[in-house]
Amino acid sequence: MTGFFANGVAVHDFDAATQTFLSVRDNIQRILNSRRGSLAHLPDYGLGDLSRIYRHLPASAHTLKREIETTLLRYEPRLKSIDIAIEETEPGMLLSFTMSCQLHQAGLVRFGTHFTPDGQTRLKLLKAERDRE
C-alpha cells in the first residue's frame, strides 16, 4: 500500500513474481513478530509467549516449529504448504530455521528464519523458484 517493502525497497524495482515472494516474506515476518492476544479481533494471530520456548530450548524448538506452521497456514493465504527444518543456530541468535514455502500461484520460496535474543524474528530470502506455466 505504501509502494515499499518492509525494508524500504520500492515495490516497482521488481517483477511481479519477485514482488509476490517479497510480499509473502514481509507478511510472514509481521506474523512471527506479533504475539497472540495483541489483536482483539484476531486473538490467535501471531506466536505465543516466546520466553517459555526460549527457556526450554533445545527441547522446545519442535513446539515452536509446529506453532509457526499452524499460524502461517492460517494467516498467510498465499501459502499452500510449509516445511520447516531446524538448523544449527547462527551466531548471536537463539534459534534458526529454514522455511520452505510452496505458494498457491507463484512457486517455491525458502527463507532463513532467525529468532533474536530481543524477541524479534528476522527472515532472509534464500531461494525463490517460480512455477513453470
Domains of the chain: 15-130 (3.10.450.40)
Is residue 11 classed as helix, strand or coil in its secondary structure?
Answer: helix
What is the CB neighbour count within 10 angstroms for residue 91? 5
- pTM to 2 decimal places: 0.88
Residues contacting residue 118 through CB under 8 Å, at least 6 positions apart: none
Mean pLDDT of 91-118: 92
The pLDDT of residue 84 is above 90:
yes
Nearest of 84, 82, 65 to residue 73 by alpha carbon: 82
Cβ-contact 111, 96 below 8 angstroms: no
Q: Which amino acid is at 21?
A: F
Is the four-CA dihedral 84, 88, 91, 95 of positive or negative sign?
A: positive
> What gap in Å lies between CA 26 and CA 43, rounded to an integer?
21
Query: What percent of the chain is predicted at pLDDT more than 90?
Result: 61
The pLDDT of residue 121 is above 90:
yes
> What gap in Å lies between CA 84 and CA 76, rounded to an integer?
15
